[in-house]
A and B are shown apart, each in its own frame.
Chain A
Amino acid sequence: MTDDTTGAPREPGSQWYDHEAGPLVRPYAVTGGRTAPGPSGVRFDLIALVTLDPAAPAGDDPALGPEHRALVDLCRPETQSVAELAAGSDLPVGVVRVLLGDLLERGRVTVSRPVPPAQLPDERVLREVIAGLRAL
Chain B
Amino acid sequence: MVPEHPDAPAGETTALALKILVAGGFGVGKTTLVGAVSEIRPLRTEEMLSEAGRTVDDTDGVDHKVTTTVAMDFGRITIRSGLSLYLFGTPGQDRFWFLWDELAQGALGAVVLADTRRLEDCFPAVDYFEHRKIPFVVAVNCFSGARRHDARDVCRALDLDPGTPVVLCDARERASGKEVLIQLVEYAGRMHTARLLDSVG
- A residues near B (Cβ < 8 Å) are 1-2, 7, 9, 14-16, 20-21, 23-24, 27, 40, 42, 44-49, 51, 79, 81, 83-84, 86-87, 90-95, 104, 110-118, 120-121, 123-130, 132-134, 136
The answer to whether B1 touches A40, judged by C-beta atoms less than 8 angstroms apart, is yes
Q: A43 to chain B: closest CB distance in Å?
A: 8
- Judge whether B145 is part of the interface by a CB distance below 8 angstroms: no
Tell me the interface secondary structure of chain B in the complex.
mixed
- Flag if A23 contacts B69 (CB, 8 Å): yes
Given contacts A1-B99, A16-B48, A42-B2, contact A49 B15 (CB under 8 A): yes
Interface size class of B (residues with CB under 8 A): 35 or more
Is the CB of B76 closer than 8 A to any CB of chain A? yes
Are A115's CB and B43's CB within 8 A?
no
Q: State the CA gap A113–B174 with chains docked (Å).
A: 30
Given A104-B2, A121-B11, 7 additional A-B pairs, CB 8 A = A49-B15, A83-B86, A86-B43, A93-B44, A112-B4, A112-B5, A114-B17
- Chain A residues lying within 8 Å of B1, measured Cβ to Cβ, are 40, 42
Contacts of B174 in A (CB 8 A): 136
Interface of chain B residues 47 through 99 with chain A (CB within 8 A): 47-50, 65-69, 74, 76-77, 79-80, 83-86, 88, 98-99
Name A125's contact: one of B2, B16, B49, B74 (CB within 8 Å).
B16
A81 touches B185 (CB 8 A): no
A117 and B108 contact, CB distance less than 8 A: yes
Query: Do B185 and A110 touch (CB < 8 A)?
Result: no
In the bound complex, do residue A24 and residue B44 qualify as a contact, i.e. CB atoms below 8 Å apart?
Answer: no
Tell me whether B101 is interfacial, beta carbon within 8 Å: yes
Contact among A1, A21, A91, A129 for B85, CB-based, below 8 A? A129
CA distance A133 to B83 in the complex (A): 12
Stretch at the interface among B27-35, B120-128, B188-196: B188-196
* Least distance between B190 CB and chain A CB atoms (Å): 10
A127 to B189, CA, bound (A): 9
Q: Residues of B contacting A87 with CB < 8 Å? A: 41-43, 74
Which residues on the B side are within 8 Å of A129 (C-beta)? 18, 79, 83, 85, 185
Once bound together, how far apart are the Cα atoms of A112 and B2, in whole Å?
7
